[in-house]
Amino acid sequence: MNIYVGNIAYSVDEQELGQIFSEYGEVSSAKIIIDRATGRSKGFGFVEMPNTEEGQNAIDNLEGKEISGRRLRVNEARPRENRY
């Protein structure tokens, strides 16, 4: 299951993001999106969890949870749209 995570504090790195989600099950990857121009986090990312049940449990428990002073926005990621 691919999970969108928004409103991530800029101080949170990919390892910490993975640890947060690993409390709810196996995490196969955690990626924070970086701005190419500044090299800084854009404040959102994606977590991949192979087990759908564990992924849904993580979404249910982490949506709105405060991490490093910011309330996370967590939901199932939508497929990326093609840009023309």
Range of the domain at 13: 2-71
pLDDT tens for 13-62 read 999 999 999 999 999 999 999 999 999 999 999 999 999 999 999 999 99
What pLDDT, on a 0 to 100 scale, did the predictor assign at position 82? Answer: 74
CATH code, domain with 52: 3.30.70.330
Q: How confident is the model at residue 83 (pLDDT cuts 50, 70, 90)?
A: low
pLDDT tier at 11, thresholds 50, 70, 90 = very high
Residue 22 lies in a domain: yes
Is residue 80 situated within a structural domain?
Answer: no
Alpha-carbon distance 5 to 30, whole Å? Answer: 10
Q: How far, in Å, CA of 76 to CA of 84, rounded? A: 24
Domain count, the chain: 1
Q: Token digits for 9?
A: 């504090």
